[in-house]
Amino acid sequence: MINPILPTSTIGILGSGQLGRMMALAAKQMGYIVHIYSPGRNTPAGQVADCEFKGAYTDLNAVQAFARTCDVVTYEFENVPAATAEAVAECTVLAPGAHVLRVAQNRIVEKTTLQEAGLAVTPFRPIHTLADLEQAVAELGTPSILKTAASGYDGKGQVKISDPNQVRVAWDALHGVDCVLEAFVEFDCELSVVAARGDDGTFAPFGVVENDHVNHILDVSIAPARVAADVADRAITTAQQVLETLDVVGVLCVEFFVARDGRVLINEIAPRPHNSGHLTIEACPTSQFEQTIRAVCGLPLGETAWRKPTVMVNLLGDLWRKGTPDWAAPLALPDVHLHLYGKQEPRPGRKMGHITVSADTIDEAFATAVLARKKLLVLE
């Protein structure tokens, strides 16, 4: 059990992107001191933290020096080396534990662990050699998706195999590293469930969110998801099983495919706040970021019911292609909330911010959110 870590204590965050920024803002609002550790300087999270530690994740002496300044440490992305997390745990409280990172940062371990727990995952095969891949394609068929076992996100580190003749090209494209081959799932929609679990086993899910991706990057999130009640119930039940299987203390997101035959399949997990949960800032009494702070500090978990239908649209660096976006234009629309992440360099595909809109209906929220993003574009 975590002894409650109360406001005025120091929370450390490994990683310094937008998730760390919003976690830090939530912690600061609650009265905590926030320390950030990452290889960068003047980072999105560092801009709002009390102290920004710059160092490599592999510099375990520097990592432990940082950890000793904190009463609890969490992380904002799952590619922090597990050895780094274990080094932190030698010095202070770490939540979620390093064992969760070890599962989440390797797709082979992740899918095997969940499958062995009796949970429905997309059909897959572990790939270590070209011969493994040839055999797996013969078993799973095409189309299928080859993904690196580690370090892939937003569509990076994956190749679609549409024909068995493409096996060698796909293998070479990912440089022969360990991979998983996943069967291509014909799906009706993609869902996510962000949920928290306290160290006493208390489970607090946010509702089911419907997600639409463009070029493998999340584009729009809709809450509540437009799915049948039994589908939503299965997604939440599965999310609870995931958090219990991994003994998570903190927040974790489970992403799902809803197959055309009705199956609800786990696509992947992320043991931290998630892009699709950003809308909880406006949509719920407790945001995913405040919930993270509550969970890792051993405090009671907050209320997560939707206040109103809410839609979030991501703002990518592509919006800057004709100049600085017109920030004033969307803010003239009703119930538009703008979040920018403090990133200095907009690049195509880079997440620079998001807009959230709540309304009486999903259709109204969706239309306003899409219009708000469109108004950002500077016309020639």
> pLDDT for 44-94, tens place per residue?
999 999 999 999 999 999 999 999 999 999 999 988 999 999 999 999 999
Residue type, 339: H
Same domain, yes or no, for 179 and 192? no
Asked if residue 212 and residue 358 are part of one domain, the reply reads yes
Amino acid code (one letter) for 186: E
Mean pLDDT, to the nearest integer, of 235-254?
Answer: 98
Q: How far is Cα 180 from Cα 192, in angstroms, rounded to an integer?
A: 21
Domain boundary among 183, 198, 218: 183
Q: Against a cut of 0.85, is the pTM above it?
A: yes
Length of the chain: 380
Would residue 323 count as lying in a domain?
A: yes
Do 262 and 228 fall within a single domain? Answer: yes
What was the pLDDT predicted at 154? 58
Q: Do 338 and 254 lie in a common domain?
A: yes
Residue pLDDT, tens place only, 353-365: 999 999 999 999 9
Q: Is the peptide bond before 143 cis (omega within 30 degrees of 0)?
A: yes
What distance in Å separates the CA atoms of residue 224 and residue 310, rounded to the nearest whole number?
A: 7
Query: In the predicted model, is pLDDT for residue 380 greater than 60?
Result: no
- Going by C-alpha positions, the residue among 50, 45, 111, 51 that lies closest to residue 77 is 45
Kindly give, in sequence order, each residue whose CB lies less than 8 Å from that of residue 326, ignoring residues fewer than 6 positions away: 375, 376, 377, 378
Residues 305 and 246 in one domain: yes
